[in-house]
């Protein structure tokens, strides 16, 4: 079995340990980031939907930074939505501030009926920048 090079952002280890997964895993020059939700520090969902989406992106950024990446290094995005038709405008407003110019990463959006109490989740694959 290949050795997993797990990555965790500061102050969020209990969440991952409780559910038995890594925040991200480095594999060669790629960083595979698990789904990030708009959880508060205690693990509970942010109740306001727009704030939940913003917090999911903030949690994603913390994980990317822990893995030596940033938003510009993302090559693939998958998002999960509990009510895509009514949420899409809000999500696009937040997303467009993060990915504000081409070339954009690939993006797959999926409607789901359960996200453990959350309404939005984002997972990504990023290319780890080469260090000089």
- Does residue 117 fall inside a structural domain? yes
- Does residue 132 fall inside a structural domain? no
- Does residue 89 fall inside a structural domain? yes
- Does residue 102 fall inside a structural domain? yes
Q: Which two tokens stand for residue 76?
A: 């693939």
Higher-scoring residue by pLDDT: 43, 124: 124
Instruction: Provide the b/e sequence for 84-107 (b: ≥16 CB within 10 Å).
Output: eeebeebbeebbeeeeeeeeebee
Q: What torsion, rounded to 10 degrees, do the Cα atoms 20, 26, 30, 31 define?
A: 50
- Does residue 119 fall inside a structural domain? yes
- Does residue 77 fall inside a structural domain? yes
Confidence at residue 112, expressed as pLDDT on a 0 to 100 scale: 97
CA 102 to chain centre: 20
For 40, which DSSP code?
-
For 17, which DSSP code?
H
Question: What is the domain-level CATH number for residue 52?
Answer: 3.30.1330.40
Are 126 and 73 a contacting pair, CB within 8 Å? yes
Instruction: Supply the range of the domain harboring residue 34.
Output: 5-127
Matching residue, tokens 């260090």: 131
Average pLDDT estimate for 90-116: 96
Are 66 and 10 a contacting pair, CB within 8 Å? yes
Q: What is the pLDDT of residues 37-96, one digit of tens each?
A: 998 888 889 999 999 999 999 999 999 999 999 999 999 999 999 999 999 999 999 999
Whether residue 7 is predicted with pLDDT greater than 60 in this model: the reply is yes
Give the count of domains, the chain.
1
R_g (Cα) of the chain, nearest Å: 14
- Does residue 121 fall inside a structural domain? yes
- Does residue 58 fall inside a structural domain? yes
Whether residue 1 is predicted with pLDDT greater than 70 in this model: the reply is no
Higher-scoring residue by pLDDT: 10, 37: 37
């Amino acid at each position: 079995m290949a050795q997993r090079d797990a990555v965790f952002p500061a102050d969020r280890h209990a969440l991952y340990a409780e559910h038995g997964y890594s925040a991200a895993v480095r594999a060669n020059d790629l960083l595979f980031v698990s789904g990030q939700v708009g959880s508060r520090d205690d693990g509970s969902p942010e109740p306001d939907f727009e704030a939940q989406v913003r917090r999911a992106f903030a949690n994603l950024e913390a994980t990317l930074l822990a893995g030596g990446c940033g938003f510009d290094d993302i090559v693939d995005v998958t998002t999960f939505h509990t009510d895509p038709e009514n949420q899409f405008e809000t999500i696009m407003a937040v997303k467009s501030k993060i990915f504000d110019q081409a070339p954009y990463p690939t993006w797959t959006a999926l409607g789901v009926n359960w996200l453990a109490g959350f309404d939005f989740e984002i997972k990504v694959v990023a290319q780890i920048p080469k260090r000089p």
